Amino acid sequence: MNSRRRFLTLSALGSATGFSALSAFGQKKPVDGPVILSTWNMGLRANDRAYEVLQSGGSVLDCVEKGVNIIESDPNVGTVGIGGFPDIDGNVTLDACIMDQNQSCGSVAFLQHIVNPVSVARKVMENTKHVMLVGEGALKFALEQGFKREMLLTEKRLAAWKNRKKELDGQIPEINVENHDTIGMVARDADGNLSGCCTTSGAGMKLHGRVGDSPIIGAGLYVDNDVGAATATGWGEAVIENAGSAMVVELMRHGRSPQEACEEIVKRIANKFERWKDIQVGFIALNKAGETGGFAIQEGFTYARHSGGQNEAIKSKSLLRK
């Protein structure tokens, strides 16, 4: 949409809702330059890499993809990519998605043996007519695209899985607040264009074949270049049930700041999910003006923000306190 048309649309929205065109997007104080936001403390490393990519002339889509790639490729991170915690049968299965400024998106789910699922998701977006590939089909596609087949289960994670199996003694694990460390990243370049991605090995000890929110466009990630972008971490089932990230973006469209939008959706999930005190769910969001926000159910959620040339870890506000 050209900018004049967009301004008129915003003005119309403003008069209908009582918000001015600018405050409809929370643009009290636009932030200059790139802004990169990602989940958890590991986001600091990912943001540094993402910023480097932008500085060396990469697109905002390159920036989010390459940013999270370094976390996927790190075997010491137990919740993303290689070294991820296995499912109940001992298989590491990965979920990821990516979305750009043109509303294009790609996704892979229940993908095994590939270290960088987010890059496969990008290939799905760019080299096929589809949005989502899963399981064997996703693996076949990845190999055809030149990705290498690798062993994702590390010795360390295998030992942890064996212990957990013994503890469970045939039981299905309860839902809990542990092992929620998906990396989701949303970014805006200096021209104001947005992209995002999300990548995870999912909930530890999940049933074989389980897919969480992270590869689901609208749940684990949503980007609308006219408004903003959001991504999620935590108990994926609750995020899917509430179309979490799409709702955060929709609230920003209707005038909430990123912070207000994240808080409202976390509260909505808490109202609707009976055992909400037993789960963690966190969102981060960024709007077109470069404003950011984050909120979670449980204390302990952190996110990383690169803005104005500074990269910092932010302790999220939460509904519950320890």
Residue partners of 16: CB distance under 8 A and separation at least 6: none
Please report which helix (H) or strand (E) contains residue 110, including its range.
strand 105-111
Among 213, 250, 263, 291, binds ligand ASP (CB under 6 A): 213
**Total of chain residues touching ligand ASP, rule CB under 6 A:** 14
Q: How far is the CB of 213 from ligand ASP (least distance, A)?
A: 5
By the rule CB under 6 A, 294 interacts with ligand ASP: no
By the rule CB under 6 A, 87 interacts with ligand ASP: no
To the query of whether residue 9 is one of the catalytic residues in this protein, the response is: no
Region 224-243 residues binding ligand ASP, contact defined as CB under 6 A: 233-236
Residue partners of 4: CB distance under 8 A and separation at least 6: none
Residues 200, 208: contact at Cβ < 8 Å?
no
Choice among 39, 182, 199, 233 that is catalytic: 182
By the rule CB under 6 A, 79 interacts with ligand ASP: yes
| CA proximity to 26, closest of 313, 296, 293, 319 | 293
Give whole-number Cα distances, 31 to 34, 40, 188, 190, in Å. Answer: 8, 22, 10, 10
Closer CB to ligand ASP, residue 97 or residue 252?
97
Among 72, 181, 250, 291, binds ligand ASP (CB under 6 A): 181
Interface stretch with ligand ASP, choices 41-49, 81-89, 177-185, 254-262 (CB under 6 A): 177-185
Closer CB to ligand ASP, residue 51 or residue 85?
85
Residue partners of 45: CB distance under 8 A and separation at least 6: 70, 71
Taking the C-alpha atoms of residue 293 and residue 252, their distance in angstroms, rounded to an integer, is 11
Interface stretch with ligand ASP, choices 117-125, 135-143, 160-168, 207-215 (CB under 6 A): 207-215
Closer CB to ligand ASP, residue 164 or residue 253?
164
Region 35-74 residues binding ligand ASP, contact defined as CB under 6 A: none
Give whole-number Cα distances, 239 to 161, 192, 218, 281, 295, in Å. Answer: 26, 27, 9, 7, 13
Q: How far is the CB of 194 from ligand ASP (least distance, A)?
A: 21
Q: How far is the CB of 69 from ligand ASP (least distance, A)?
A: 18
By the rule CB under 6 A, 199 interacts with ligand ASP: no
Residues 205, 236: contact at Cβ < 8 Å?
no
Taking the C-alpha atoms of residue 161 and residue 85, their distance in angstroms, rounded to an integer, is 7
Residue positions annotated with a catalytic role = 182
Residue ranges binding ligand ASP (CB under 6 A) = 79, 180-182, 200, 202-203, 212-214, 233-236
